[in-house]
Amino acid sequence: MSDSRVFVDTNIFLYAALEDDFQQGKRAGAVNLLKGITDKLVYVNTQVLHEFYSIMLRHGASDEAIHDRLNAIIGETKVSVITVKTVKRCWDIRMKYRYNYWDCLILASALEHDCGILYTEDLQNGQIIEKTLKIVNPFVS
């Protein structure tokens, strides 16, 4: 695993995209993180794209605006397709770590691509998964 490969969870992209007064601190943190990892190989999976689309729609964004954002994400990241192998690895991770299924699918994708860091606010900050993948919550100081 390498810190030059990172995986970014949906919530980071959402905070960067949503202009919510309540979450301005997280918005700034997400934008700064995304600007700060341009020298890394950044991964997402198709789940991240689906979640982003769905949540942006719930927040009232137009399809066109969402397409623009997603095209930017796709252009700046490596998009991993979830396969049967990914799903089976997800099951193993779920049994071992007891995180929810969707978080385990993110973990499985990150591990599949030898990422050293997963940026998310949804899991335990600082935890090491499978001795190689570090969970980093960019909103914790």
For 5-22, write each residue's pLDDT tens digit.
999 999 999 999 997 766
Domain 2-136 classified CATH 3.10.20.30? no
21 CB-near residues (< 8 Å, 6+ apart): none
What does DSSP assign to residue 22? G
pLDDT tens-place string over residues 36-94: 999 999 999 999 999 999 999 999 999 999 999 999 999 999 999 999 999 999 999 99
What does DSSP assign to residue 123? S
Contacts 24+ apart (CB under 8 A), 107-111: 107/133, 109/7, 109/43, 109/45, 109/47, 109/80, 109/82, 110/7, 110/43
Query: Which amino acid is present at 84?
Result: V
11 CB-near residues (< 8 Å, 6+ apart): 120, 121, 122
pLDDT for position 23: 73
Write down the pTM of the prediction: 0.94
